[in-house]
Structure formats: C-alpha cells, structure tokens
Amino acid sequence: SQQGEEDPQALSIQEGENATMNCSYKTSINNLQWYRQNSGRGLVHLILIRSNEREKHSGRLRVTLDTSKKSSSLLITASRAADTASYFCATAGGNNRLAFGKGNQVVVIP
C-alpha cells in the first residue's frame, strides 16, 4: 500500500534557520502532499506536488519530488517560532485514500 514515511527525527532549530524534512514512499503515486499539525489540532494542507512535477514553491515552502527514488523533501526557509508543529507527508495514488506518514516534529526556538 502507498505510505508516506518521514525521517523520524525531531528537528530543533533557531528562528531564521531553514528546516528540511524528508519523506519516502513505496509505490507509484498521483501526487504527494504535505500537511502541518499544531499540537491537538487538525491537519492543515500546505502544498501538493504532482507526480510529473519535480519542485514546487509556496511562500517560504519548497517541496521537491524524486519519483525515481520515491522520495520528497519539504524545506521551510527563514523559520519562525510559529512554524513549530508536526509536518506530515501523504501520498495519493489511484485509490480514494491519502496515506500519511508518521510525522516530523519541528521546534523553532525564538
């Protein structure tokens, strides 16, 4: 089954630094999405990258997708304390389910 799997490490960085998270998956996909979750809250969609795209930007976010390696990365530039959250990748295939990875906790220290 399709499953996003982030690198499990937690990230702790200083405000202003960049944060990078990685995600790998196992099967073919239509698209890959990144979500953010603040503690105890719902997930919020950040960005979607299609399988025929290699890179996408949205504000301070940059996502890359390497379908040959079945991996994606999310870069948050110039991090802020408000970026402190868990970040999940999720893969969408031909079926009607989005499969989420374990999440990567990011702490931005002011």
Partner 1 sequence: EPEVTQTPSHQVTQMGQEVILRCVPISNHLYFYWYRQILGQKVEFLVSFYNNEISEKSEIFDDQFSVERPDGSNFTLKIRSTKLEDSAMYFCASSEAQTGELFFGEGSRLTVL
30 binds partner 1 (CB under 8 A): yes
Binding residue for partner 1 (CB under 8 A) from 11, 99, 106, 108? 99
33 binds partner 1 (CB under 8 A): yes
Distances 72 to 14, 46, 53 between C-alpha atoms, Å: 23, 14, 11
For residue 98, give the amino acid letter.
Answer: L
11 binds partner 1 (CB under 8 A): no
Element (H, E) at 35: strand 31-37
Residues contributing to the site for partner 1 (CB under 8 A):
30-31, 33, 35, 41-45, 48, 88, 90, 92-93, 95-103
